[in-house]
Chain A
Amino acid sequence: MSEIDSILPLELDGIGFGVHGRPLLSGIGLRLESGSRTVVLGPNGAGKSLLLRICHGLLPPTEGSLRWGGAGRPLPDPLVRRRQAMVFQRPVLLRRSALANIRYVLGLIGLPRRRRQVVAMAALARFGLADLAGRPARVLSGGEQQRLALARAWVVEPDVLFLDEPTSALDPASTLAVEMAIHEFHAAGAKIVMTTHDLGQARRLADEVVFLSRGRLVEVSAASHFFKGPASPQARAFLAGELAC
């Protein structure tokens, strides 16, 4: 692996995605810089989750291109894959213990077997799951499962962490724990790209807001500007809680 600090920035150029000729995303041009926390906002069906999946490489865009690492610095695909992680709305955990779920990922990224136990335990402890290490992951509570998903992402040491509505199914205490975890990733230097429907959460976490509406990129602003006075009428309506989008 080459010695690079980060696979970022990520540049999207004219990204579009259509199903059976129906465009769900179109003409997205965006540059995601390292380090900052970007929150993708927009009404239901705006294409937020889709955008995250395309960025993460789970879906190939039907139009346009993605470029990691900026101009003139082509990065090998395995490196790009290896240095990012994603936390889903509902994590899919394997039918084995919490600890074994982490060890599984350490195996995938090729950490020597003898080191896996220590690293996995440390990650569980970091997210307050040390006592649950031996418990089957699938019988943990929703909040614990999401923290386990975060611990699983943590051991990858990602340059960028994607989160797709990570707290929409959680109670306030678990939501707080997830937000603290996001702070930890951010403090460790990871780029955060997340979607949320919780505007309070967006205010607490965002450095930058990307606003989508009906599959189009409407506005990219610093969070302080966006929440004070968004430039676009769609975003103003969205913040005002209007249903029109």
Chain B
Amino acid sequence: MLDLTAALSTAAALVIELDPQMLDIVRLSVLVSGSAVLLAALIGLPLGAVLALAVFPGRGLLVVMINACMGLPPVVVGLAIYLLLSRAGPLGQFGLLFTPSAMVVAQTVLVLPIVAALSRQVVADLWDEYGEQLRSLGAGKFSVVATLLWDGRFSLLTAVLAGFGRASAEVGAVMIVGGNISGVTRTMTTAIALETSKGDLPLALGLGIVLIGLVTAVNAVVFLVGQSARRRMG
């Protein structure tokens, strides 16, 4: 049986001692997932807004496809990025495979559909409320997108958080394109997978607890900030 006490004390020791190897792993995980979420938000928020507002042939199909992509299996995305970035692949010349950059690319692909699909819904709902008023005020297309994204900022934060949850939890994609190289591309999730297969369950569980604590902390901060801002702004 798993010794939960041992796992918990390992986790506590890792955190209290600020084990340098663990810190490196945590830092890389946060850096990779954070960059991916940032990139996905920069692309996904405006993309979602445009999908909500623009009328063009094939929009419905595109929306369905993006919604479906929310459920992309990470290993499949990892494999696709692997093929693109491998030496013989079309983007092989950049030598990105087995680097943190490759992991950022893979996670961005995973997070983007979530941010885009959820923000499309948020912006579409806002447009129902704001549309007439904004058209009456004479807002142009660019202004409308910017205005709705800003006014929907509290709800959109949830969309971005959902993306962050996906990025920090997935293991398949970063494992394939990063290679789980110690000190270079080892993240919390790949380390957990590795330690589990090696049989070092307390360490794996300890890392898992750190990961969950980290994700919970991020969500708590965003929630509290969002709550108070929402109360102030109405």
B231 shortest CB reach to chain A, Å = 9
Q: Using C-beta atoms within 8 Å of the partner chain, give the interface range for chain A.
A: 20 to 34
Contact (Cβ within 8 A) A96 B233: yes
Assess whether B197 is interfacial by the CB under 8 Å rule.
no
- CA separation between A104 and B134, bound complex, in Å? 11
Contact flags B134-148 to A (C-beta < 8 A → 1, else 0)? 111111100100010
B206 shortest CB reach to chain A, Å = 42
- CA separation between A92 and B129, bound complex, in Å? 7
Partner of B137, one of A95, A108, A137, A138: A108
Given contacts A92-B129, A95-B151, contact A108 B234 (CB under 8 A): no
Within 8 A of A (CB), among B131-164: 132-140, 143, 147, 150-151, 153
Q: Which partner residue on chain B sits nearest A137 by CB separation?
A: B234
Assess whether A121 is interfacial by the CB under 8 Å rule.
no
Within 8 A of B (CB), among A209-223: none
B232 shortest CB reach to chain A, Å = 6
Within 8 A of B (CB), among A135-162: 136-139, 152
- CA separation between A137 and B151, bound complex, in Å? 12
Assess whether A1 is interfacial by the CB under 8 Å rule.
no
Assess whether B130 is interfacial by the CB under 8 Å rule.
yes
B24 shortest CB reach to chain A, Å = 41
- Given the complex, which residues of B lie within 8 Å of A56, measured CB to CB? 136
Partner of A58, one of B136, B143, B150, B153: B136
Contact (Cβ within 8 A) B138 A108: yes
Tell me the B residues contacting A by CB distance below 8 Å.
129-130, 132-140, 143, 147, 150-151, 153, 232-234
Tell me the A residues contacting B by CB distance below 8 Å.
53, 56, 58, 81-82, 85-86, 88, 91-92, 94-96, 104-105, 108-109, 136-139, 152
Given contacts A58-B135, A92-B133, A104-B147, 4 further A-B contacts (CB under 8 A): A92-B132, A94-B147, A96-B233, A138-B234
10 pairs of residues in contact across A and B, judged by CB atoms under 8 Å: A58-B132, A85-B137, A88-B136, A92-B129, A92-B134, A95-B150, A95-B233, A105-B137, A108-B137, A136-B234
